[in-house]
Every structure is written in structure tokens, then in C-alpha cells.
């Protein structure tokens, strides 16, 4: 992470007219800002009780960076004696974003649960790597860490997934794949999640009401969908909202900021999970906008959301299997 304080945030581009070259340049500049000391006033200071470092995960055909958060004093990789719970995290942004933007929430979870939090620096969505690549990265890192649990110092029987925005979509897909493969997750946390990328993705009252917010806009989402689902891709297969069966999944906490174009995505997904018999708790944060959990320095509602995520994961990842959440 950059230690400088003079990194400037780039101007927001014209999402409707942006070229691939402009997208890459904007992404690089924006991610430098998000990973800089200058951004801490917005993204929050890490918990001093956690150690943070970058590592690499070697997967078939690629090597992915991951940002790893551990309780201070627990040691690094190969500290397998601890057997801490695992929280697999995926940041938001879709075609932009970095795990470092989530240092505040992830370091807090690592220190306070305690747990090992592994945040995936997945391939960002663009014309070369559409959404299936990012979804595979989230799932493959989860499997890799659990298959090498002792080396990572985690208890494979106590794993949860946690994602924000597009990251919420990626971990919701991972939860579905976990059920299909017989991998038992203790919990899934979905914060302002995007849970569909079909042609009706933008057809909701919340999208109409909050189409042009400071942190997310309709043109931004239109570009995301074009990049995520290239022609010929089955959009429903990438949309957890339209999964044939949502029963038997890990208990879910769905966190919805009310002033968010995607607020109805979270509400509808929570309803579908509940109807399918999957335990789910839906919480709404009045007046908060999209990506609020990554902006604790300017959005006070982030503190309450952090507390409820902490409580939910703490109960879910307890040594004894938790009871079924209500809600």
C-alpha cells in the first residue's frame, strides 16, 4: 500500500463513451488513490490489532494477489497451529477496486472475531476478462485456502464468505457453488449486493429513484453490465437472484443501504432466500448510499453495519455450530 498522502483521485470519466484504454488508465489511477494514505480519511484506519500483508495464491493458469488480515501476533502463512475461522472477502467495484479499500472492515474482523480474512484481488471486469473470470477467482481462492487450511492457519470447518457490491455477487455465486460441491460454509454476508446481470438488472424502483448518486449511477451500472456479460453469455447463470434453487445455502446476512440504486437487489434476494428456506437476516441502513461500508470516514452508518457483521459472523463462526438465524 502506498504511504504517500499526495495521491490525487482521478476525475470520473464519461461512462457511456469510455474506451478500453481510458478504462484501464482510470482504473489504475483510481486504485492508486484507494490504496493510498490519502484515502484513509474516507476508507478508515485499519484496526491496530490486525496484521496486514499481501500474499500470492498460485492457481491453474494464473497467480492472484490476496490481502491477508490476521490477529496481531498470530504469525503469517504456515502458522497453521491457530486454526482460526476463515472469512473469504471480495471487494466492490466490478471493473475497478482493490482489496486495500476494505482494510478498515477486514482488519476489524480479523482482530475482533478473531479470524483470518483473505480478500481476493480478483481479475477486474473488462473486455478481456468478463464476470465469469472474477467469479472463478473468488471461488478458486476459497477452495485453495480450505484445501491448504493448515498452511493458512484456518479451521476448514469454520468458513464464511463476505462481499460488497460486485463482490457480493461473486460470493453469492461462490455460496451456490459451495452447496453444489458439498463444501459447508457457515455464513454469507452480502453488503449492497448486485445479484443479477440480466436485461432487467436496472428495472427496479430503487434504480429509478437513486439513478444518479455520488457513489453509483445508472451509466456506471450500464457499463458494468456490458463488460460483465458479453454477447453470447448466459446472464441468468451469473445472476444468483434467478438460481433455480436457493435452499440449503449458508445462512445469510444481507445489508442494504436505503439510498442505493441496487437496494432492491438486496431486498429481493433476501426474500428469495427466505422463501427457499435458507436462514436470512435483512438489515437496512437509512440514508446510507452505495459502498457505504468502504467509507466509514464520511458515512456514520458504516459503524452500525460493521457491528452487525461482526456479531453475525461471530455467532456463525463459533466453535459450536450456531443456531439458525431469525429474520
Q: Is 91 a catalytic residue?
A: no
Q: Which of 47, 137, 140, 260 is catalytic?
A: 260
User: Can you tell me the distance from the alpha carbon of 181 to that of 315, in angstroms, rounded to the nearest whole number?
Assistant: 24
**95 CA to centre of own chain:** 13
User: Can you tell me the distance from the alpha carbon of 221 to that of 108, in angstroms, rounded to the nearest whole number?
Assistant: 30
Q: Which three cell numbers stand for residue 153?
A: 492457519
Nearest by Cα to 263 from 230, 296, 286, 237: 286
Q: Is 78 a catalytic residue?
A: no
Close Cβ partners of 60 (under 8 Å, ≥ 6 residues apart): 140
Can you list the alpha helix ranges (DSSP code H) found in the chain?
Answer: 20-34, 40-43, 103-112, 131-147, 149-152, 166-181, 205-209, 218-228, 263-276, 301-316
Q: Is 290 a catalytic residue?
A: yes
- CB neighbourhood size of 265 (10 A): 28
User: Can you tell me the distance from the alpha carbon of 159 to that of 153, in angstroms, rounded to the nearest whole number?
Assistant: 12
Give the phi and the psi of residue 153 in degrees, each rounded to 5.
75, 35
- CB neighbourhood size of 118 (10 A): 26
* DSSP 8-state symbol, 217: B
Q: Which of 36, 119, 165, 206 is catalytic?
A: 165
Q: Which three cell numbers stand for residue 162?
A: 463476505
What one-character-per-residue DSSP string does 68-101 give?
EEEETTS-STT-TTS-EEEEEEE-S-SSS--GGG
Q: Which of 102, 290, 294, 316 is catalytic?
A: 290
Active site residues: 165, 260, 290
Amino acid at each position: 500500500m502506498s504511504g504517500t498522502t499526495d495521491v490525487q483521485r482521478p476525475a470520473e470519466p464519461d461512462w457511456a463513451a469510455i474506451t478500453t484504454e481510458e478504462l484501464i488508465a482510470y482504473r489504475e489511477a483510481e486504485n492508486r488513490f484507494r490504496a493510498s494514505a490519502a484515502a484513509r480519511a474516507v476508507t478508515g484506519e485499519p484496526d491496530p490489532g490486525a496484521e496486514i500483508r499481501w500474499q500470492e495464491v498460485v492457481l491453474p493458469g494464473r497467480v492472484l494477489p490476496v490481502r491477508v488480515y490476521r490477529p496481531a501476533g498470530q504469525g503469517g502463512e504456515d502458522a497453521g497451529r491457530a486454526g482460526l475461522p476463515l472469512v473469504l472477502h471480495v471487494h466492490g467495484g466490478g471493473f475497478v477496486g482493490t482489496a486495500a479499500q476494505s482494510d478498515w472492515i477486514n482488519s476489524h474482523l480479523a482482530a475482533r472475531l478473531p479470524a483470518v480474512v483473505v480478500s481476493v484481488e480478483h481479475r477486474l471486469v473488462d473486455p478481456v476478462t468478463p464476470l465469469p473470470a472474477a467469479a472463478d477467482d473468488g471461488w478458486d481462492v476459497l477452495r485453495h485456502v480450505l484445501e491448504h487450511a493448515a498452511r493458512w492457519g484456518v479451521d476448514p470447518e469454520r468458513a464464511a464468505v463476505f462481499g460488497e457490491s460486485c463482490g457480493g455477487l461473486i460470493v453469492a455465486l461462490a455460496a451456490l457453488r459451495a452447496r453444489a460441491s458439498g463444501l459447508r460454509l457457515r455464513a454469507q454476508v452480502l453488503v449492497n449486493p448486485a445479484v443479477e446481470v440480466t436485461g432487467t438488472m436496472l428495472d427496479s424502483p430503487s434504480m429509478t429513484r437513486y439513478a444518479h448518486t455520488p457513489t453509483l449511477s445508472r451509466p456506471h451500472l450500464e457499463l458494468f453490465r456490458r463488460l460483465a456479460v458479453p454477447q453470447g453469455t448466459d446472464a441468468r447463470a451469473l445472476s444468483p437472484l434467478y438460481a433455480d434453487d436457493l435452499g440449503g445455502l449458508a445462512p445469510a446476512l444481507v445489508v442494504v443501504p436505503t439510498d442505493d440504486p441496487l437496494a432492491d437487489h438486496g431486498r429481493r434476494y433476501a426474500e428469495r432466500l427466505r422463501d427457499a428456506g435458507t436462514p436470512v437476516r435483512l438489515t437496512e441502513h437509512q440514508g446510507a448510499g452505495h459502498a457505504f461500508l468502504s467509507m466509514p470516514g464520511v458515512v456514520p452508518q458504516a459503524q452500525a453495519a460493521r457491528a452487525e457483521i461482526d456479531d453475525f459472523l461471530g455467532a456463525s463462526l463459533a466453535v459450536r455450530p450456531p443456531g439458525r438465524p431469525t429474520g
